[in-house]
Structure 1
Amino acid sequence: MAEDKSGFETIAGTARSRRELLKAGGSTLALAAVGTVAAPAVLRAQAPTVKIGGIGPLTGALAYNGNQAKAAMQFAIDDANAAGGIKSMGGAKLELLFGDAESRPDVGAAQVDKLAEAGVCCLVGAQSSAISLATTQAAARFNLPQVVDVGTADQIVQRGLPNVFRFSPGTARSVAEGIANLNTLNEQAGKPVKTVAIVHEDGPFGSSMARLLQEKLPSIGMNVVETISHPTPQRDFTNIVLRLKNARPDLVMPSHYINEFILFARTIRQQRFAPKAIYSIFGGGASNIKFVRENQDAAQFVIDTNHWYDPRKPASQALARKVADAKLDLTYDIMVAYGATQVVIDAIEKAGSADRAKLIETLSTQTFADTVMPYGPIKFVGGDNTGSHLVNLQVRGDKIEVIFPKEYATIDPVFPFPDRS
């Protein structure tokens, strides 16, 4: 791979400089011949290339998530190209241009400017609420549609921006679903959980999650005894865990990104704090095999309400094989980014065009039937995908198992936890 001056990756050898062509032809006349005779013959035989922009953090605190998502976007584009490209555009091939947000909203917004200038027709990304809020706002200036893969803050779709489409569910709907599932688990176990502590990152994602949890948990008979916020990144959770030990909640509900979730779970184990359960909604690590592989003892029985694909679908099984062959972790970042890119590709096919306005209209009005996710028909209403929903996952041994809803479950839940002291 080579990198052009705009900072986006391009295939090495596909572009040649004027100097190289002069050397090859030996004269200005030879260069003119290359430009006016050879090139049109080649171009006439090829369908146009459609550029899709990817946006996310390849460096910084969220680099793991961003690199996972980028790989998934490329998988989806490769699959579409292998299947014949965009048939409604004469078999046009797709190309991914990806901008590194560096885990910072301001950098993400600046990358959108570059991607728009590079001619992308649509954006997919950006793996966090804070970055997505900035990139969607920047994209609006160019009438550039963005399909947000992972970005749960409801402000993303509440600003009236017609170019914004969120593929996965937002905070309010996810909290309602996660609370209902928690209530079911607690009732089935004889209601062992009566008190809860919330620990959350202090950005748009964690803060909105904590606010909703504080409102909703009393409705299922659970009293919030502590709410603790922290920045991202957070390097030490010792004092936070000591506060939790003093509060002695039955249940801990964390809302972090992956690095903080892993450190938090390890600190809980190191400090010998043993709540009856750890249950998260978009917890950040409990649905990540990297967390399980590297911290199996701390990870055991942790429950998460999160994105996950439908393992019964052939496309999901094929994706899992691609991920294994690439020696990547099979995470929700990959699943959701792949599914969001599938929707973008389908929208281009339905529109028969890479025109940004036509794509916004298509995403706003059409229904998209199938992706790797366990979603119903995908319909964007006010920018939100009304067909999206979450599942409950639990770490068991060295695996992540689906425990709820029943139709997707691979194992029965363990709730409350067995003695882990």
Structure 2
Amino acid sequence: MKLGSWLTSTAVVSAALGLAIAISQGAEKEVQIAFLNPLSGNNVDAGQQDLNAATLAIEDINKAGGIKALGGAVIKLVIVDTTSDPKNAASTAERVFSTQKVAGAVGTGISGLTLPILPVAEKSRIPIITNSVNDQITSLKYKYTFQVTPKGSQFGSTQVQFLKALNETYGLGIKDVAVVYENSGYGVSTASSIKEIAASAGLNLVLFEAYPHGFTDASSLVTKIKASGAKALFPVAYTTDAKLIINTMKQMDVSPVIIGGGAGFLWPVFAKEMGPAVNGFVSVASWNWDSKSISSVPELASITTRYEEKFGTFMTEHAGPTYVAVRMLAEAMEIAKSADPVKVREALSTFDNDKIGGFMQPGRVKIDGTGWNGAVHPVMIQWQDDKPRTVFPAMDAVRTFKR
């Protein structure tokens, strides 16, 4: 063998060995993301939806080569059950942030659990992306808090705009409306917005009533709804409460137009418990699986298809934004070229993305100076063919409203 050929062969072998070593080392590298959500208690449905989405996002990232800027580091999800008790949320977060090396965190989808966690994340200097909708989340001026979803106040505005559109399209002439809401951060934030917007829209608010989350008898609440004479009802409730209110209304022959406040009106369990009667129900949503910005882009639409194939149900309002949150953390690590949570936070603070960000309507995630995705807005869905389909606003709609 000629010396030149031998040197070339040796160089090729050495390069191949070096590449193999690099690949091996990259495969061994690992970065952690904390997943904080209720996996027990009353809010377990929401937590499980979030976990499903986070799991799928991690799989997609790792299958695509991991964090390339970190030599192909794979992401591991540190799964933490906050329980459904706000008293446990902060201590649980503090424990994981102090014992685990994480680049960031996602969670929760329940505002009452999220709010106690935020000061812990701030103190620990761990960036956290939440899919909770409470307006207060980004008004606290925490530097390590990011909110990817619409705010509760936007929910109320969208619901009232939708009713206005129904009045104009079908000549319903509805003026008298009622709002009933669970006494939680999510409930108060959404209901207060409806109250404010309803007045400016020329609607007459004849009832504004809170009820305790998890109550077992809705008869007194429905009696008040009936006595108010409301022609439209804006209920803000999770699944169990939503079903109880609706069934009690049927029993007491109370039948205003119902425009749900998200959460329990959107989940698969609602369809399961309501049966065929679910079709026709409308609700506001922070996200929906078939919004135009998703369904019109094959790469994004495939995410919802794979979610349904893997978990046996459509991708939910909780799941979609959680998937985005995990992908945002991964992209922030790529931008920062680091898993250092301080540097990840810096990358998130100017995050502007229409690729994976396209998964949030109207097709972009753009973090503003408060840490909120200021590009986002809610949509209205109507249950059709046993699935929530986007019907409003026109820029996001893929189906028309069925009266």
| Superposition TM-score, scaled by structure 2 size | 0.87
Residue of structure 2 equivalent to 1:84: 65
1:8-407 matches, within 5 Å, as 44=25, 46-116=27-97, 117-149=99-131, 151-275=132-256, 277-282=257-262, 284-296=263-275, 298-306=277-285, 307-309=287-289, 310-330=294-314, 331-371=316-356, 372-381=359-368, 382-407=370-395
Q: Runs of 5+ in structure 1 lacking a partner? A: 1-39, 416-421
Tell me the amino acid that sits aligned with residue 362 of structure 1: A
Tell me the amino acid that sits aligned with residue 390 of structure 1: P
User: The residue matched to 2:124 in structure 1 has which SS?
Assistant: coil
Q: Structure 1 residues 45, 351: CA separation in 2 closer, same or farther (over 3 Å shift)?
A: closer
The structural deviation recorded for 1:215 is 1.5
User: The residue matched to 1:252 in structure 2 has which SS?
Assistant: strand
User: The residue matched to 1:374 in structure 2 has which SS?
Assistant: coil
Q: Runs of 5+ in structure 2 lacking a partner? A: 1-20
Q: Structure 1 residues 82, 221: CA separation in 2 closer, same or farther (over 3 Å shift)?
A: same
Q: Structure 1 residues 410, 366: CA separation in 2 closer, same or farther (over 3 Å shift)?
A: closer
The structural deviation recorded for 1:297 is 5.0
Kept after mapping to 2: 8 A contact 1:69/1:333: yes
The structural deviation recorded for 1:41 is 11
| Superposition TM-score, scaled by structure 1 size | 0.83
User: The residue matched to 2:295 in structure 1 has which SS?
Assistant: coil
- Please provide the CA RMSD for this pair: 2.1
Which protein has the bigger helix share? 2
CA separation in 1, counterparts of 2:351 and 2:133? 23
Kept after mapping to 1: 8 A contact 2:232/2:259: yes
CA separation in 2, counterparts of 1:213 and 1:178? 8
- How many pairs align? 373
The structural deviation recorded for 1:240 is 0.9
Deviations 1:250-290 (A, max 9, x none): 00001112221222222222322111x101232x2322232
- Calculate percent identity across the aligned residue pairs: 27
Tell me the amino acid that sits aligned with residue 358 of structure 1: K
User: The residue matched to 1:165 in structure 2 has which SS?
Assistant: strand
The structural deviation recorded for 1:402 is 1.5
Tell me the amino acid that sits aligned with residue 399 of structure 2: I
User: The residue matched to 1:359 in structure 2 has which SS?
Assistant: helix
The structural deviation recorded for 1:47 is 4.7
Q: Structure 1 residues 271, 363: CA separation in 2 closer, same or farther (over 3 Å shift)?
A: same
Kept after mapping to 2: 8 A contact 1:286/1:299: no
The structural deviation recorded for 1:44 is 4.3
Tell me the amino acid that sits aligned with residue 129 of structure 1: S
**Residue 413 (structure 1) aligned with residue 393 (structure 2):** no
Q: Structure 1 residues 44, 347: CA separation in 2 closer, same or farther (over 3 Å shift)?
A: closer
State which drifts further: 60-69 or 344-353: 344-353
Residue of structure 1 equivalent to 2:3: none
Kept after mapping to 1: 8 A contact 2:26/2:73: no
Q: Structure 1 residues 339, 270: CA separation in 2 closer, same or farther (over 3 Å shift)?
A: farther
Deviations 1:157-176 (A, max 9, x none): 11111000000011223333
State which drifts further: 368-377 or 245-254: 368-377
Tell me the amino acid that sits aligned with residue 63 of structure 1: V
User: The residue matched to 1:272 in structure 2 has which SS?
Assistant: coil
Residue of structure 2 equivalent to 1:10: none
Kept after mapping to 2: 8 A contact 1:47/1:90: no
The structural deviation recorded for 1:374 is 2.4
